[in-house]
Structure 1
Amino acid sequence: MRIRSKLVLAFVLSGVVPLLVVFGVSLGTIRQGVEDKFAEHVAVTAELAERSVTLYLDGLAKRASDWSSDGHINALIARIAALPRESPEAQEASRELGAYLRDFKMPLDRSILIAEVFDADGRVVASSEPLRVGHSESAEELEYEYAWRRAMAASFVETVTNGFVVLEGDEQGHPSEPTLHFSAPLAKEAGTPGGVLVLHVSARDLTALLGEILSDRPESTFETYLVNADGHFVTPSRFVPDVVLKVKVDTEPVRRCREAGESASGEWIDYRGVPVIGASRCQAGRWWTLVSEIDTTEVDAAARAARAQNALVLFVTLAFSASLGVGLSVVMGRRVGACTAVIKELAQGKFGARVPAADIKRDEIGQAAQGVNAMAERLDEYFGSLNQLYEAVFTQAPVGIITVAADGTVASANARAKEWTGVMEGDGLLASAWCRERALEGELRGALAGAPFEREIPGADGRAFRLTGTPLAGRKALEALLILEDVTQQKRLAEEQRSYAQRLEKEVADRVRELEAEKRELERVNAHLVGRELRMAELKKRLAQAEGADASPGTATPHATTGDKPGA
């Protein structure tokens, strides 16, 4: 069997048949795979939304707790409590506290609509909304709206809430929108509850938070919403208008959270009566349940699209297989031709030629193509490295480089050599002015004859150069290599070093002469002092002898009045 027939048979057995089997099996599993994928996306979205909502609400509760411990707020509420309720001083303190809440506290969080303080009797004694001051509510309203009993019984660092409530706007200035109340107790100096700080927070930011999480979801029926402990919507529905705190959700995940405190995932009927795939998040001690859902109709549509895509892929694959089988013979001829074409180009010195990767297969032709490519790569690497080295040395070297042909003409010269000598490619070097002015003809002819040389020559601008000539043995077109190196700086440094050494030697000699003169002077002075000391010692000796002679018996008394010796 020829290679063409083998390839056709192998492709049919290893490609087409397995594709048909896999496609037949996948038809029954595509729906489950798509459903699992959407269920995972819904669960991840629910978890992300839960974290975001928890962080948001916990942050507001922490803010209420921090404000309740504010020393200025507690000082003002203590002063209000100590004054008669209708006294001007109490009213002034109330206005001051309201202004403090409005101007210094509320700008810290734009989601806070109203910040106000209730006294222990449930009466508003200070508020960022002046119309609210003096407002009072029944015990039932206080408990429903502000979790009053828990707030009064809570520790002074704890915040409580009853969830979202809706209050119609009234003369006291309360907003008519879904509002969440965070209540934190205040304290008197004695440590007993002196009132409650209440923050009225809008639900708009929480709705926007969930909307931001869903903004990246491309599905048209995907939604995430919150329900309170009673099962009422506290954030809007994507499909039903005006549901907040008006429509109650009584679905499987909401019931499971309310009755067993458990989260849920899977398929169920949603609040519209539509089958959905969803996931819920339920936290113990929280007043809310978070639900994420997507309609099963959209999941089914995605499964049908996946089946259609697989069918299209199978059709394209089969069509490709048919065209591939027909074109195998053409491909075989092209592969052989590619190998022979590369070999011809290598023979002509074109070492960049390669057999295309598409023509390298696991057969005899592929092995031959690999061998041709390996040989071409080695040749290209060898000559490429030589060319790169030559290019780097020739163009970037800090010296002038000139190559001279056997007839004395310049075969090549780099930029520095052209600048320093003025010669160009093709010029006769031996006849050039640069060569004549420096009497280089003899050395250059010697280099062309095989004798290297080295000498210093002057430059046109007063600089000094070292010229080295080296024969190029075994070359046909190039017979000598000239290296021109600028040694001006070296000579200048050498001259400065010699001058400095001479000055230093002179200074040392002068200093030695000065030291020798000083030494001679010291020796003279020392000799004088030594002689003087000797004379003084001799004089002292004689005086001692004279005094001994005067003190002996029978000796005449010296003439003290004149100081003359006896018999003088």
Structure 2
Amino acid sequence: MKNLSLSQKALLAVFIILLPITLTFVYGYRKNKEQLKGAVLKEMTVIAEAYEGQVLQHLDVVKRRVAGLANDKSIKALAREAVAGKKGSRGRLASYFISENAEYGIGITTISLISPVGRVLASTDPTRVGQDHSLDESFLMGSVNTSIAEEKNYGSNIPEIAVSAPVLDEASGGLLGVITAYIPFSDLDRLLSGESNMELGALSWSRGRHETMEVYLVNGNRVMLTDSIFIKDAAMRQKVDTEPVGKCLEGGIEVAGFYKDYRGIEVAGASMCFPALGWTLLVETDESEVVRPAYEMLKSAVIGAGMAGILIIALYLLIIRKMVKRVGILARAAGEIASGNYDVALPVKSRDEIGELNISFNRMASDIRDRNAEILMEKDRARMYLDLAGVSIVAIGLDKKVKLINRRGCELLGLGAEDIVGMDWFESFIPENIRKEMLGRFARCMNGEVSVDYYENDIVTAGGGLRTVSWHSTLLRDPSGAVIGSLCSGEDITEKRRAEEALRISEKKYRTILEESRDVIFVATPDLRLMDLNPVAEEVFGYRLSELIGKRLDGFFIEEPDRERFKGELREKGEAKFEARVRRKDGQEIWLSISARGVDEAGGGPVCRGIMREITAQKHLEAQLIQAQKMEAVGQLTGGIAHDFNNILTAIMSSAGLLELMLPRDSRQMNYVRQIISSSERASKLTRGLLAFSRKTLVELKPVRVNDIIRNTERLLSRLIGEDIDFKVSLSDADPVVTADVSQIEQVLMNLATNARDAMPKGGTLAIATETIRLSTEALKDQGYMRPGEYALITVSDTGTGMDRKVVERIFDPFFTTKEVGKGTGLGLSMAYGIIKQHNGYINAYSEPGVGTQFKIYLPLAGIKAAEEAEIRTESPKGGTETILLAEDDAEVRSLVKALLEEFGYTVIESVDGEDAVKKYAEIGKDVDMLVLDMIMPKMNGKEAFGEIRRLNPSVRALFLSGYSQDFISQKVILEEGLDFYVKPISASGLLKRVREVLDRK
């Protein structure tokens, strides 16, 4: 190459230019050919999958239609008659088939009913009646479940598709017969050819297709089931023994590639397997059509390359030779300049590039002359420039001594230039602890290993102080190029490093605050893509920080309105402050309080900064507070109603109790009395339920086994839900013990069972399970209202219609119901909620539409063994002769209580309220043995009246009456401990027993 002339090199360059162009064309052709093949194979696969989906969808529609006929009650009734041989039933069945098939029109040509022994009983094709299908696959599989099989027509011997389903007796479950629908393969041929789509108004099937592309089906005998576009009447005749068919039939392997088809032509194709039917679906296009665009491209490329070659050679002949001659003249002139002849000049005969080059050459020669004159002046100026520089400049020779230093360097070291020049730089100014390192760096530089170096180090000043300098060093060379030393420019960065260290400490403190903060601190782009977050974000969102970076912040919001509001506030106000529900990586929904602001970072453009705090537990507590306020409001209403109702029940139960005590036990009227008492007790339980809802009732708490409660109510619940619902009970082996009022827990279970029954109108499953569970603080970190500890868990689940999230959120609200008007009060679950809360427990609901509902009841474990049932002895009520002062504002109740006490020998003095009771006691107090006081009365309540009377007689005995619980009364009127209390409604035996206990107490 070195000995070649410029003309030869130019000619060689022409061939070098043409060679890559040619290679590029060849490579492009091959690459495009491979890409075309790959793209067509992907296209063939997509088309094959699409047609596979259409075939399966079509067959599935037929299967569902046949299954629907098999479950048709009318068909079952006619099939039962046909099997029994009832006259005319077969004709009616065939007519019914014809009408049903005409209605749906999904390609079915024939529908037959085959008897349990395999004979055709009825058919839309009369010629099939009586045929024996007992050994056919369609009958054998169809008698078990809905199936599809390939079967030959007994008359024409042409294969067809048979879709079968069993017809089962509803009562016995026995087989009444098998319904079989027949579809000709021509129907699939119409589907694959696009005729079906065209009939429905779709675009032409040929639009966008390859000219040689065809779609066809092959059965397990490797015979074509549908028509070919190349061979006439190929269906059921043409043998297809190709690679894709073999792989589908032998191993269920689907193929996409190039192979020879049934014609022996190389094609691009893709196959889809139907293992259950033994079919193979193929989509194929001739390879010649696939690669045709590549051949056309190659043809165009060859023509273009030829034209380019001719043009380049012509340019060479016309231009290159002339240009080479003129470059030769320029080269000789350059040689004169190199020898020191600066007066040489070139003639300028044109304004082309060579002419411009000659002008530049002449100007260069003139410049060189001028530069020689200026060199001496520049040397003097250089010294002045060095002194004016704002950095220290030092020249160090090979002997490590200072050869030159500017004024700024002298100021840095604290010495004059005359003192510094000649001193050993490393021994005089480099600290001993880094001297060896710096000498090694200098040696590498002098050896040529490093030509330019950047570094920082401390230097020692004349006063013994240390300064930090950032150096930029380069080699000094003599005219021959030999290294003679190093030229270093240095900037004093002592103060800068101190500031950086202070900044680093400050940033470390700031980073520590960020990393230890329990709030998520974030920076996002203007379109809310996260750029930076502190580590607590991993705990809040469940993602690693690397996963969070780049995600959109508003993409975590569950509610679309929250996203729009957040972006809207940022856009309009420049800041946003609100609360939103977001979804963690594990799918858990949490609440976040978000405060964000758009700001402009210095040098970084606009960003969004903000703080997020998880407030899930706070939200739960807020929901509990709202629920408690709702319960309190409705509780006041129901409590007041229950209190008045208790007074009415007292009158009924007291009157019935008197009659029970007065009538002979074998009296005819005794049954009616007991029925009144029984009904009153049921009404009393209802009142207790209302009071439990309002949390004003007296709860009879005692240790009980949870499993015993379930066992005792199991039979009642089974009757309550009905026979069409499967009732399952699973009891824990641990047999947990809780402190509870059995009747109220039973009431909760009955309410939940009733709701489950109403949610399963067509039947389903109701399951009740018990277990012992420990709730840890960690498990309850998102449940702010529940306390850690051991609980008995009662789970009540159903498979009913379920509820969406919005309904579940209001399910315990008073008077909220999803039932029709007149079918629900909306108080059932509210009462259940009140009862469980009164037991210091929790009740939660979980539900999804179409899946079912699950209630979980948590009751604290008692920690002691359940009380054994004590033997109950029935004792006759006892009377007495003492005098009792009765204070009751309800006249009817007062009259009945008086009658009851007087019936058993007591002397009763009536008073209409507390004030009247105090007045009468003051008059006849010495004759009164006991007080019976209603707690809630006008003017003066029972507690106030008792206080006034006790001033007159500190040892007076008293029994307080109320429809509310003792706990509730204690809260309202500050009832003292140790006083006797009786909860309405009043029963005769209960009141008499309680009065006797108070009087007999010492």
Q: What is the TM-score of this pair, normalised by structure 1?
A: 0.46
Question: If each structure's helix is expressed as a fraction of its own residues, which one has the higher value?
Answer: 1
Query: Whose relative contact order is higher, 1 or 2, with alpha carbons under 8 Å and at least 6 apart?
Result: 1
Structure holding more strand per residue: 2
